[in-house]
Structure 1
Amino acid sequence: MIKKIAVLGLGKVGSLVATLLSSKYEVEGMDQFDVKDKLPFEVLKGDVSNDKNIRDFLKDKDAVVSCLPYFLNIKIAETAVDMGVHYFDLTEDVPTLNAILKMSENSNSVLAPQCGLAPGFIGILGAGLYEQFSEIRSVKLRVGALPLHPMGQLGYSFTWSAEGVINEYLNDAEVIQNGNRKMLSSLDDVESININGRQYEAFLTSGGLGTMCETLEGKVDTLNYKTIRYPGHRDGMKLLLYDLLLKDDRKLAKDILNNALPLVDDDIVLVYAAVEGILDGKLRRKEFSESYRKITLDNKDWRAISWTTACSISTVVDLVSEGKLKNQGFIKQEEIPFDMFIKSHFGSMYETYKDPK
């Protein structure tokens, strides 16, 4: 049973992850910057890239939840494995995932990366759909985190890590196409998608499937994940990253985008999944389509991207603590039963706070 939890990174998402978990567990947070908000748990200021700081911070903890940028997570995971501490993160970065998979071969504790919205919740949801079928033809997963009121050609606001967005736009996307597992260029395979009467575009991005291509290899003809954006966003990003060559200077790209696209208070998260195959002897399609907006918890407003992400990782931590998931080794998101997830203490927030139809 998990009793004491360390949360690293207390930004837009991390502060809510720690807040949710502190309602059930003893939580202590660490961030490299001064945290101005009053939070219901102890906060330490420290260099989150310093190994000694992390080891001192984890020495009395049962679990660590990393809400840090993806490029810091491999070292945190290595330290957690060495200390026998359960590890959870939000990364979408494929090299980080592969490194953590390798670590899990000799781990006495849980390693559960990619516990956010996508990868994370979307994989749990997708598996909950395709497990109903006797044969699967296609699995298509779509997620978008967007400003509620878009402005400009990009129609976007960085409600989470700019580094993460650029990373998933530039790294190749893994898919299963015509039954073959392969890598395709992100920002490609653009499609038009209509959700609740509004038109969006969706295109391939890296990391959203987590380990699902490995899980479904040889079992499905088509599997892909696409990011949902307002029409025109993909063309604008193609111009910026490829035509203007900012793909070669990610820091400059991040600085330009952060300066151009200010944070907004009102956002919306769109989640769509569709599975086709044989169900009860017939060719069927099962779909899930929901949208989520900001909520208020204890008189504090939380953006949709923050609470949907925080809810997902908090649920996985909780299910491990309650013994409902394994307590050692690597946990794939698609291994987590959707019904168990959605009925759990934190997972039920997806039902409680979904937009009314």
Structure 2
Amino acid sequence: MNKHFNIVIAGAGGIAEAVGLILAERSKVSPTIYIGNRTLSKAQEVAHWIEKGTARAKEVKAFELNPNELSEKAKAIFQQGDILLDCLPGGLAPQMARYAKTYHLHYANLTEYVDETNQILDLARDAKTGFVLQTGLAPGYINVLAHKMFRDFCDDYKVDKVDYLGFKVGALTHHAVSPHFYGFTWSPVGVATEYVKDAIVLRNFQKTTLRSLSQRAQLIINGVLYEEDLTSGGAADLPDALASRVRTLDYKTLRHPGHYQWVSNQLKSIGYKEDIIQELQRVMEEEIPHVEDDQVVLYAAVEGKDAAGVLRRREVAKQIFPQLVGKHILRAIQATTAAPLIQAAQLLLESHLKGVILQSQISPDEFLNGDFVKSVYGKV
């Protein structure tokens, strides 16, 4: 940040603490950071962790944040805040967005949840502040990168349509053992949700939905074999923005080979239930360990014919590992999720944007080369 701001962070989990640490350590002008959580002691713990993690001047304050009913202290903090960075579970996003609108805060969130995002779209259209939605890793960074690749391809090859735009992300362990070939590096409920809810895609230039985990394939990235399959939420608004210009567009999640077959077996055993997400989450948490030493693998590709009819393809792949920020090491999923959220915050705070700003509406060059994003992802 290039000047002082009061930044309110909702949540006190791993992403919230990463957001606070990066803000404190890498802002040009240190902000005042407020950490709000339903459990005050957890917010205080994270505030202390951030303060211990950086030698730079900082002010980190904890407060109790009940999503259902704000205390007088929470209301006072919201009234003096400049932006609300929502790191709470996706189901709470509409409520947080309402508070941001009520108290005239800018707002940015991370959730891949489609229904909740649509609720905020309706809520924030006439807001007097800016709302950047789905601005983490996936959705988030990967969508801005894919959109840039599409635009550059069209400009360079003098075309206005392409055959394929695909983008994929995996938050993975370095090692994988049978039978599940997986380790949790982020929210189990997020994993279960993206496996069950439908994926939004483009097929034959038309927006449609497909069942998640219904189009499994293999691919090799930097010599390593992965599996990919459709999951929900990761496409953000690109199916809407690029309909009629991209024949086939989809977001897929990368996994180690063997994991998706294990998930399919669990879903067959569970059968159709109204609480299928909760049941899948329960089964996975019983069988799959949490792993701290993680990596993030991402890949995006665009393919089509140039103006002369020659078939062309462009690809970008990145592998990101845990990173030292200040005195703490952030897991790869923490750094890669937090950095785009903070970059979106800077975009809002240092501009005059109002209403909803979706991934396709973000200037790719400015965003991808922003200081916070570049420090984690490197140059594009």
Q: Same fold by TM-score, threshold 0.5 exceeded?
A: yes
Partner of 2:349: 321
> Cα distance, 1:2 vs. partner?
7.2
Q: 1:240, 1:246 within 8 Å by CA — same for their partners in 2?
A: no
> Cα distance, 1:43 vs. partner?
4.0
Q: 1:246, 1:252 within 8 Å by CA — same for their partners in 2?
A: no
* Residue 314 (structure 2) pairs with residue 286 (structure 1): yes
**Cα distance in structure 2, aligned partners of 1:76 and 1:243:** 36
Partner of 1:270: 297
**Cα distance in structure 2, aligned partners of 1:247 and 1:197:** 40
Partner of 2:50: 39
**Cα distance in structure 1, aligned partners of 2:307 and 2:192:** 42
Deviations 1:131-164 (A, max 9, x none): 0113222110111001111122222222211111
Partner of 2:102: 82
Which structure dedicates a bigger proportion of its chain to helix? 2
Deviations 1:84-104 (A, max 9, x none): 111110000000111111112
**Cα distance in structure 2, aligned partners of 1:27 and 1:287:** 38
Which deviates the most, 335-344 or 300-309?
A: 335-344
Correspondence 1:1-357 to 2 at 5 A: 3-23=5-25, 24=27, 25-33=31-39, 34-35=41-42, 36-37=45-46, 38-40=49-51, 41-53=59-71, 55-132=75-152, 133=154, 134-135=159-160, 136-245=162-271, 248-249=274-275, 250-279=277-306, 281=308, 282-323=310-351, 326-352=352-378
Post-superposition, which runs of at least 4 consecutive aligned residues in structure 1 deviate over 4 A? 278-282, 351-354
- Code of the aligned partner of 1:228: L
> Cα distance, 1:259 vs. partner?
3.5
> Cα distance, 1:277 vs. partner?
2.6
**Cα distance in structure 2, aligned partners of 1:85 and 1:280:** 46
- Code of the aligned partner of 2:293: D
**Cα distance in structure 2, aligned partners of 1:142 and 1:254:** 22
Unaligned runs of 5+ in 2: 52-58
Q: CA distance change for structure 1 residues 48 and 151 in 2, over 3 Å: closer, same or farther?
A: farther
- Percent identity, aligned pairs only? 30
User: Normalising by structure 2, what TM-score?
Assistant: 0.87
> Cα distance, 1:113 vs. partner?
1.4
User: Normalising by structure 1, what TM-score?
Assistant: 0.92
Deviations 1:37-73 (A, max 9, x none): 5222534252432332353441210100010101111
How many pairs align? 352
Q: 2:34, 2:63 within 8 Å by CA — same for their partners in 1?
A: no
Unaligned runs of 5+ in 1: none
Which deviates the most, 49-58 or 199-208?
A: 49-58
Aligned partner of residue 210 in structure 1, secondary structure = coil
Which deviates the most, 335-344 or 246-255?
A: 246-255
